């Protein structure tokens, strides 16, 4: 657990970067600091490992007052991922990752072999071990940064915009892997970002900070989207709040059974399976491949990959209603494809079925909370 107790940081030039911050980041959870540029996110983060000393107030690490421990010792027990990775250009990747274990005086050989295991864990091939940071792409460098922070297996991780310097596709990939890793490791994490979508995706709880260094709201992502505490938070959370909040809404849908076709089936089979002129093609494991328009298939022709329309997204049946609605809206056939954990077809739903489900769920909650 990390606890901020009336923490203030006033820089020598008079700038008040953090103003009376009170906040608890629970153990084993991801707490995200989000807010506009200059609101004191980095300052708050760096006060935890005392790269910046608070002007007043106390930061507790479990029951330890961080102000009362030797700074270097404190830091070696806290993983830190810096923006733009901040890798040491003169050290190989494996030595970058092994930095803290080596500083702690661990056996060199062992530290290196552990570093290579860790590289693989964050999705880097072991063959990168002898390379230098300049020989890696931005996304790969970010992975090294995460591996380096994890190397001494610290219970606490501080991450300052770790995924900001990469393109959206790589960022989404890194985020997904980060969540998977955290589900295995269960670290206490404070994650800084200025991207509200990232905050909402990754956080168990999200702290929205205002310029001037005050806490505007501390809440779960769903609460933040559905119940922002003031205009500042509402504005910062941004457009499409209602739709984005659906990402946290799961609900039992009742998918319709879908007649399917396979590659190689002929026009007659497609015609038999089609509803509203479209039928769904699946592979041998019943994984959806795409939609075929019955009218596009001349008499006697077969289903080929070129004929498939692949625009529809696939939604896990156990996932959010947002995913299901998106699957329905993006489907060329108007029917959203639901899949199970193995990626196999469960059935399809229409947008109006999903919306009905959403409405009844929200109505139930409204009446419940009113009463």
Partner 1 sequence: MINYLKNNPDNVSSWFFTHLWMSVLPVVIGLIIALPIGWVASRYRWTYPPITNLAGLLYTIPSLALFILMPSILGTKILSPVNMVVALTVYSLALLVRVVADGLNSVAPDIRAAATAMGFSGIGRFLRVDLPIAVPVITAGLRVATVSNVSLVSVGALIGVPQLGSLFTEGFSRYIPGITLLGILLCLALALVLDALIVLGSRVLTPWQRAVAKR
Ligand X SMILES: Nc1ncnc2c1ncn2[C@@H]1O[C@H](COP(=O)(O)OP(=O)(O)OP(=O)(O)O)[C@@H](O)[C@H]1O
**Which residues make up the interface to ligand X (CB under 6 A)?**
11, 13, 15, 17, 37-43, 194
Taking the complex as a whole, how short is the minimal distance between the CB of residue 85 and ligand X, in angstroms?
Answer: 15
Among 37, 73, 183, 369, binds partner 1 (CB under 8 A): 73
The SS3 of residue 102 is helix
106 binds partner 1 (CB under 8 A): no
132 binds partner 1 (CB under 8 A): yes
43 binds Mg ion (CB under 5 A): no
How many residues of this chain interact with partner 1, rule: CB under 8 A? 28
What does 143 interact with, of Mg ion, partner 1, ligand X, none (CB < 5 to 8 A by kind)?
A: none
What does 43 interact with, of ligand X, partner 1, Mg ion, none (CB < 5 to 8 A by kind)?
A: ligand X
Nearest to partner 1 of 34, 82 (CB atom)? 82
What does 313 interact with, of Mg ion, ligand X, partner 1, none (CB < 5 to 8 A by kind)?
A: none
DSSP letter at 257 equals P
Nearest to Mg ion of 37, 183 (CB atom)? 37
Give the per-residue contact string, 89-128, with Mg ion (x = CB under 5 A; - = no): ----------------------------------------
Among 12, 63, 90, 341, binds partner 1 (CB under 8 A): 90
Among 20, 38, 86, 319, binds partner 1 (CB under 8 A): 86
Handedness of CA 13, 16, 22, 26 (dihedral sign): negative
Among 41, 112, 143, 148, binds partner 1 (CB under 8 A): 148
How many Cα neighbours within 13 Å face the side chain of 263?
A: 13
Taking the complex as a whole, how short is the minimal distance between the CB of residue 75 and partner 1, in angstroms?
Answer: 4
DSSP letter at 86 equals -
Taking the complex as a whole, how short is the minimal distance between the CB of residue 235 and partner 1, in angstroms?
Answer: 31
The SS3 of residue 36 is coil
193 binds Mg ion (CB under 5 A): no
Among 17, 25, 40, 42, binds Mg ion (CB under 5 A): 42
Pairing mode, strands 314-316 and 64-65: unpaired
What does 187 interact with, of partner 1, ligand X, Mg ion, none (CB < 5 to 8 A by kind)?
A: none
Nearest to ligand X of 212, 264 (CB atom)? 212
Taking the complex as a whole, how short is the minimal distance between the CB of residue 172 and ligand X, in angstroms?
Answer: 20
Residue listed under structure tokens 């899949």: 339
**Is the CB of residue 311 less than 8 Å from the CB of residue 292?**
no
Please give the C-alpha separations between residue 24 and each of 1, 31, 67, 207, in angstroms, as whole numbers.
7, 9, 17, 10
Taking the complex as a whole, how short is the minimal distance between the CB of residue 12 and partner 1, in angstroms?
Answer: 13
Cα separation, 184 vs 265, whole angstroms: 44
68 binds partner 1 (CB under 8 A): no
Pairing mode, strands 188-193 and 156-160: parallel
Angle at which helix 321-330 crosses helix 351-370, to 10 degrees, equals: 150
Cα separation, 79 vs 45, whole angstroms: 12
Q: Report phi then psi at 305, rounded to 5.
A: -55, -30
Return the structure tokens found at 121: 């864990």
The SS3 of residue 65 is strand
- Indicate the helix (H) or strand (E) that contains 354: helix 351-370
Handedness of CA 174, 179, 180, 185 (dihedral sign): positive
Binding-site ranges for Mg ion (CB under 5 A): 42
Binding-site ranges for partner 1 (CB under 8 A): 49, 51, 72-76, 78, 80, 82-91, 99-100, 103, 131-132, 134-135, 148, 158
């Amino acid at each position: 657990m990390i606890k901020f107790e009336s923490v203030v940081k006033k820089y020598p030039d008079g700038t008040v970067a953090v103003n009376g911050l009170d906040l608890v980041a629970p153990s084993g959870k991801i707490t995200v600091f989000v807010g506009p540029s200059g609101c004191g996110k980095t300052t708050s983060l760096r006060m935890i490992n005392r790269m910046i000393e608070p002007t007043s107030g106390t930061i507790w690490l479990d029951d330890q007052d961080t102000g009362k421990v030797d700074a270097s010792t404190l830091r070696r027990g806290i993983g830190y991922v810096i923006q733009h990775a901040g890798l040491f250009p003169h050290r190989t990747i494996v030595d970058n990752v092994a930095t803290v274990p080596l500083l702690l005086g661990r056996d060199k050989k062992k530290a290196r072999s552990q570093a290579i295991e860790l590289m693989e864990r964050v999705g880097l091939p072991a063959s990168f071990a002898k390379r230098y940071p300049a020989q890696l792409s931005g996304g790969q460098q970010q992975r090294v940064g995460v591996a380096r922070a994890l190397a001494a297996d610290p219970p606490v991780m501080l991450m300052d915009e770790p995924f900001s310097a990469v393109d959206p596709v790589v960022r989404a990939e890194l985020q997904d892997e980060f969540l998977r890793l955290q589900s295995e490791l269960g670290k206490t994490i404070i994650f800084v970002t200025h991207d509200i979508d990232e905050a909402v995706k990754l956080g168990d709880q999200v702290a929205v900070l205002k310029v001037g260094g005050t806490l505007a709201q501390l809440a779960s992502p769903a609460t933040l989207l559905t119940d922002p505490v003031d205009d500042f938070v509402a504005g910062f959370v941004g457009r499409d709040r209602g739709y984005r909040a659906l990402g946290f809404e799961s609900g039992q849908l009742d998918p319709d059974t879908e007649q399917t076709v396979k590659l190689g089936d002929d026009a007659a089979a497609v015609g038999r399976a089609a509803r509203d002129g479209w039928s769904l093609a699946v592979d041998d494991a019943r994984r959806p491949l795409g939609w075929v328009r019955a009218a596009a298939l001349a008499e006697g022709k077969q289903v080929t990959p070129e004929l498939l329309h692949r625009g529809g997204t696939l939604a896990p049946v156990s996932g959010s209603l947002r995913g299901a609605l998106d699957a329905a809206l993006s489907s060329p056939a108007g029917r959203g494809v639901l899949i199970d954990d193995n990626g196999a077809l469960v059935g399809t739903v229409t947008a109006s079925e999903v919306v009905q489900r959403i409405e009844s769920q929200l109505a139930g909650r409204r009446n419940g909370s009113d009463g």
